[in-house]
């Protein structure tokens, strides 16, 4: 009897090894030939400057991500049952802030070329006192709690990505002062805060600048959910950022390589997306963004 059991165990292990070998020897996905569009707009990429003290890359040695690495990686891909991006406002928002959320929704729908919806706001009361603290006279919420205990429980129909947008400041752990945003790429959820984007108070005078910041932060975080790593070669919206100064310095444009990554995932019409973005920027008085899109459109043949 013992010999029979031993034989069965050996046979089971052998079968598993054969399956493992078969998986290992599977033909890797064929890297697609680069479309002319990406080569054309590459001429508008701006090489990332050497980092200085205070910059994200000054103290972080990131490896970056090539297109081939992205293409062969595991990341979400839109499907019939998962193709909608959701925004979940958390807190109490005034009229100007609600307008910015609406414009961010419109932008993300164009940027990712996927349907984007804003859910009804939820109260800050969902966060217990154990996940709150006071810092320099204002309240902060624990970003990790919002991810695991609030956003993870939200399962709207056909969700491919969900971004919480907090009215209050966020912190990731006790030893950190604050964080702009945090995401769980495995769960396809993230949270960002508008608190530090608004220079203390959102007004009609700083509205455009603050909107630009929100568009950068939200597209960056959701870009991570689609598998894009930080860009370390060109000035790109996927650059890491340590401060509001660095956020303002970084472009709102996705560089040619990162555009190729996103397009290989979502497979939208590159020219249509570019034209849609150009119209959005001019319609909302975001001159810098408009000039960048126009510059790309001018080099497309």
d(CA 144, CA 259): 29
In 10 A of CB 289, how many CB atoms?
Answer: 22
- Nearest 5°: phi and psi at 139? -85, 145
Q: CA 138, CA 131: separation in Å to the nearest integer?
A: 14
Cα angle 151, 223, 172; round to 5: 50
Contacts (Cβ under 8 Å, ≥6 apart) of 37: 270, 271, 300
Identify the helix (H) or strand (E) that includes residue 190.
Answer: strand 189-193
Q: What angle, rounded to 10 degrees, do the helices at 95-112 and 270-283 form?
A: 160
Strands 138-142 and 132-135: antiparallel
278 tagged catalytic? no
Supply the DSSP symbol for 11.
Answer: H
Q: Which of 221, 246, 275, 278 is catalytic?
A: 221
Neighbours of 44 (CB within 10 A): 15
Q: Which residues are catalytic?
A: 221
């Amino acid at each position: 009897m013992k010999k029979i059991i031993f034989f069965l165990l050996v046979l089971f292990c052998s079968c598993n090894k054969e399956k493992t070998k078969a998986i290992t020897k599977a033909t890797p996905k064929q890297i697609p030939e680069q479309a002319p569009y990406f080569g054309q707009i590459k001429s508008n990429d701006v090489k990332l400057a050497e980092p200085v003290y205070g910059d994200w890359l000054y103290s972080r040695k990131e490896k970056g991500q090539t297109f081939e690495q992205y293409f062969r990686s595991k990341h979400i891909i839109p499907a019939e049952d998962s193709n909608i991006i959701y925004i979940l406002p958390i807190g109490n928002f005034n009229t100007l802030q609600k307008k910015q959320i609406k414009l961010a929704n419109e932008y993300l729908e164009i940027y990712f070329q996927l349907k984007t919806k804003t859910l009804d706001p939820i109260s800050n009361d969902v966060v217990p006192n154990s996940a709150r603290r006071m810092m320099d006279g204002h309240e902060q919420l624990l970003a990790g709690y919002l991810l695991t205990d609030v956003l993870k429980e939200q399962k709207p129909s056909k969700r491919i990505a969900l971004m919480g947008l907090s009215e209050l400041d966020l912190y990731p752990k006790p030893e950190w002062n604050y964080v702009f945003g945090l995401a769980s790429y495995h769960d396809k959820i993230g949270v960002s805060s508008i608190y530090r984007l608004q220079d203390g108070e959102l007004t009609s005078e700083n509205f455009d600048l603050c909107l630009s910041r929100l568009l950068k932060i939200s597209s960056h975080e959701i870009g991570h959910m689609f598998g894009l790593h930080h860009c370390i070669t060109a000035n790109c919206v996927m650059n890491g950022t340590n401060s509001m100064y660095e956020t303002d310095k970084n472009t709102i444009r996705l560089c040619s390589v990162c555009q190729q990554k996103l397009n290989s995932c979502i497979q939208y019409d590159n020219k249509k997306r570019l034209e849609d973005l150009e119209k959005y920027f001019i319609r909302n008085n975001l001159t810098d963004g408009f000039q960048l899109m126009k510059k790309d459109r001018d080099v497309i043949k």
